[in-house]
Amino acid sequence: MKYSINPACTTANVGEEVVVLNADSGVYFSLNEVGGFLWEKIKAGPVSAEDLVNCVVEAYDTDEPTCKDDVLRILYELINENLIFEE
């Protein structure tokens, strides 16, 4: 399964956070540094959870099991807020 950005979303950088606005629903969502990193990877094109985990492990020098749980949690939150789509 791959993930892509909802085209109704726009973003703004606020300090070290990325704030995402879904223009259709009016929902604002704040992402920390790692969440913003994931957002940019998803924005670059449809990407799988496995690819996202690998990118985070490489960029942040973390272990895969912890990283996988965190990435899946963030993806779940973004899907629930209708900010990204599963393909």
Q: Where are the domains of the chain?
A: 2-86
pLDDT for the residue 61: 86
* DSSP structure class, residue 83: S
Cβ neighbours of residue 22 closer than 8 Å, sequence gap 6 or more = 6, 8, 9, 29, 81, 82, 83
pLDDT 10s digits, 56-83: 999 998 999 989 999 999 999 999 999 9
pLDDT at 37: 95
8 A C-beta contact, residue 8 and residue 22: yes
Cβ contact 9:63 at 8 Å: no
Per-residue pLDDT reduced to its tens digit, 4-63: 999 999 999 999 899 999 999 999 999 999 999 999 999 999 999 999 999 999 999 899
Q: According to the model, what pLDDT value does residue 85 have?
A: 96
Q: Specify the pTM.
A: 0.92
In 1-87 the beta strands, taken as DSSP E runs, fall at: 2-5, 9-14, 17-22, 27-31, 47-48, 84-86
Q: What CATH code would you report for 2-86?
A: 3.90.930.60
